[in-house]
Chain A
Amino acid sequence: MFSKILIANRGEIALRIIRACRELGIATAVVYSTADKDAAYLKLAEQAICIGDAPPAESYLNIPRIISAAEIADVQAIHPGYGFLAENDHFAEVCRSCQIEFIGPPVKAMAAVGDKVECKRLAKKAKVPTVPGSDGAIDDEKQALEVARKIGYPVIIKAAAGGGGRGMRVAHNDVSLRAGLKQAQAEAENAFKDSTVYIEKYVEFGRHVEVQILADAHGNAVHLWERDCSMQRRHQKLVEESPSPFLKQSVREELCNAAVRLVKAAGYTNAGTVEFLVDQDQNFYILEVNARIQVEHPVTEQVTGMDLIKEQIRIATGMPLSFKQKDVQQLGHAIECRINAEDPARNFAPSPGTIEEWRAPGGPGVRLDSHAYAGYRIPPNYDSMIGKLIVHRRTRAEALAAMKRALSEFHIAPIKTTIPLHLQIMDNEHFRSGDVDTGFVERVLLAR
């Protein structure tokens, strides 16, 4: 077991990792930027090292400074958390070449699953369904029409170099395909200097269901069931839950087994999540693999009773998994709401500043993962999430009631948060009946 670990992250995930280390008897060193210098969670680590000014490039994304901090802190391993350098295979490589273990997958596996093309290839090899598509760039209109007719409308044209929703067009027929192709190419050329596009089947009203996996360096890989994260706004998750209220049991098992096959094919170890798109007929297609611990990992921890951060650390020391697939239970129902310092009434404008009043919820089945408190100043330099509120009860109905109760007990002032939005969601009849898709929040809830 490691005797000391460096945490190369901030905020609630840094606190989460500190907590796991304290329970394992591992000393911690945590890096921080000048913007985080007054954060109370720093005091829970044995050592806190200032590595730079607020901008991530000067601090949390700065590899030389983080490695330097790891060296002066004399640690055996680095936990990258999520975001920042967590999926940076170059960083993982640098750590290991400096004789510091990177708590995450091997560099090759990380790079493989992070590459869209390679990931698709591995999926096919592992017999994991992929989104039907052109499987490569579209050369001309004729080919586009052939592909679209083969996979069936509606289709989506996507920029190969793209992201952020740009260079995308949905087409429902040949006419809109011809027009959409030209538009997407033009937009891609403008935004990314690369007009290359490809075509995929467009799943309308799809759900985002992801599978948590753990794999050790001895060839063992297991799933810890799924999380349904269909409640999103601008591709950012708002609410996550487990089990998925939508999937049939047989599909749930197929999905989870598919995820395990994929990570085995990739030679992946440590924690990871395989994301799937599920259509209205319960067909699923792999979207991507997240080679890191995720924000919503507490949802899985609650229903399985496992501590994923501790498992990550154990795997990184070379230990085999201490349990088998059959030992993984999914008990009860857990829901997580991400509490962001944003004002839903003003189009989610960020609301940084100092928290003056903070009364956290409690009671049975309530878990709060947060680094914030009364007196905490939310720095404007990083993402707006100030905490995660998780409930775990025996049934989904009870979990909904518990979340509603917990949200209404939660008092934060004067900064604005997304608590009112979450209360709205908990009362929404579609959400309550499990009848939502990834477009629901924007299309229905926020359109009002």
Chain B
Amino acid sequence: MAKKNQSKKGSKENGSVRPASGHSPMDLDLLEQMTRLMRDNDLNTVDVRDGDKRVILKRGSAFAAPSGSSGYVVQQPTTTPSPVANTGLPSAAGTGAGASSSTPAMTDTEAGMVAIKSPMVGTFYSASSPDAKAFVSVGSTVDEETDVCIIEAMKVFNNIKAEMKGTIGKILVTNGETVEFGQPLFLVKPA
């Protein structure tokens, strides 16, 4: 099995990934190999399943809107590391060291939490209507089909699902805030 420091930037030599002895998507070495593969081949999303185990690897930008913002989504300087945002998989700029220290499984982790990111550009609503209770709050249990919020784009209201099992750890946006593609909305403690 390819060692951690064997692959060069841009190399395709570890094109075929041999699973480690665990044969599971949860195997750390396998995941590290996959993140390198993704970087080297400029892949954005890899979905690995094995029985009921599943890992989704995503790389790319994630810009958390500053809390309390007026709704403008501003690009943050990519060099700012912060507890809440933007670490995770090695970017094309090659921050390999950072990658190996954070959980290779998912992006935007805070103490092992996983981000639910916005799949579209629009306005975030935490409930189905102004009078209704919020879909979820901190501590809510979610599974793949749980509606966590609505994002409204061009007058169409889209229910956004958690697509994972876990508990809501943190809510990153406020009701009525505008969000961009890829913006983290919730942090979830995986089940």
Q: Are A37 and B121 in contact (CB under 8 A)?
A: no
Q: Are B78 and A72 in contact (CB under 8 A)?
A: no
The answer, yes or no, to whether A16 is at the interface (CB within 8 Å) is no
The answer, yes or no, to whether B40 is at the interface (CB within 8 Å) is no
The answer, yes or no, to whether B135 is at the interface (CB within 8 Å) is no
Of A37, A64, A69, A380, the residue contacting B75 (CB under 8 A) is: A37
Chain A residues, CB < 8 A from B25: none
The answer, yes or no, to whether A3 is at the interface (CB within 8 Å) is no
Measured between alpha carbons, how far is A49 from B73 in the docked complex, in Å?
A: 6
Chain B interface (Cβ within 8 Å of chain A)? 42, 44, 60-61, 63, 71-75, 78, 92-93, 120-123, 153-154, 178-183
Chain A interface (Cβ within 8 Å of chain B)? 34, 37-38, 42-43, 47-54, 64-65, 67-69, 71-72, 98, 354, 377, 380
With contact pairs A50-B63, A72-B178 given, residues A43 and B75 touching in the complex (Cβ less than 8 Å): yes
Chain A residues, CB < 8 A from B72: 47
Query: Is chain B's interface secondary structure helix, strand, loop, or mixed overall?
Result: loop
Measured between alpha carbons, how far is A98 from B156 in the docked complex, in Å?
A: 13
Q: Are B120 and A65 in contact (CB under 8 A)?
A: yes
Chain B residues, CB < 8 A from A380: 42
Chain A residues, CB < 8 A from B93: 38, 377
Measured between alpha carbons, how far is A37 from B123 in the docked complex, in Å?
A: 21
Measured between alpha carbons, how far is A67 from B153 in the docked complex, in Å?
A: 8
Chain B residues, CB < 8 A from A52: 181
Chain A residues, CB < 8 A from B121: 49-51, 65, 68-69, 72
Chain B residues, CB < 8 A from A377: 92-93
17 pairs, A vs B, C-beta closer than 8 Å: A34-B44, A37-B75, A37-B78, A38-B93, A42-B75, A50-B73, A53-B44, A53-B60, A53-B181, A64-B154, A69-B121, A72-B121, A72-B122, A72-B123, A98-B154, A377-B92, A380-B42
Q: Are A50 and B92 in contact (CB under 8 A)?
A: no
Question: Max chain B CB contacts within 10 Å: which of A54, A64, A67?
Answer: A64
Residue of A nearest to B60 (CB): A34
Chain B residues, CB < 8 A from A72: 71, 73, 121-123, 178-179
Separation in Å of the A15 CB from the closest CB of chain B? 15
Q: Are A71 and B180 in contact (CB under 8 A)?
A: no
Measured between alpha carbons, how far is A380 from B122 in the docked complex, in Å?
A: 28
Q: Are A48 and B120 in contact (CB under 8 A)?
A: no
Measured between alpha carbons, how far is A16 from B142 in the docked complex, in Å?
A: 46
Separation in Å of the A61 CB from the closest CB of chain B? 14
Q: Are B44 and A47 in contact (CB under 8 A)?
A: no
Chain A residues, CB < 8 A from B179: 72
Of B78, B122, B178, the residue contacting A38 (CB under 8 A) is: B78
Of B44, B74, B154, the residue contacting A48 (CB under 8 A) is: B74
Q: Are B180 and A69 in contact (CB under 8 A)?
A: yes
Residue of A nearest to B123 (CB): A72
Q: Are B73 and A37 in contact (CB under 8 A)?
A: no
Q: Are A64 and B153 in contact (CB under 8 A)?
A: yes
Residue of A nearest to B44 (CB): A53
Measured between alpha carbons, how far is A38 from B76 in the docked complex, in Å?
A: 10
Measured between alpha carbons, how far is A380 from B41 in the docked complex, in Å?
A: 11
Residue of A nearest to B72 (CB): A47
Q: Are A37 and B154 in contact (CB under 8 A)?
A: no
Separation in Å of the B24 CB from the closest CB of chain A? 28
Q: Are A34 and B154 in contact (CB under 8 A)?
A: no
Measured between alpha carbons, how far is A150 from B72 in the docked complex, in Å?
A: 64
Chain B residues, CB < 8 A from A37: 60-61, 75, 78
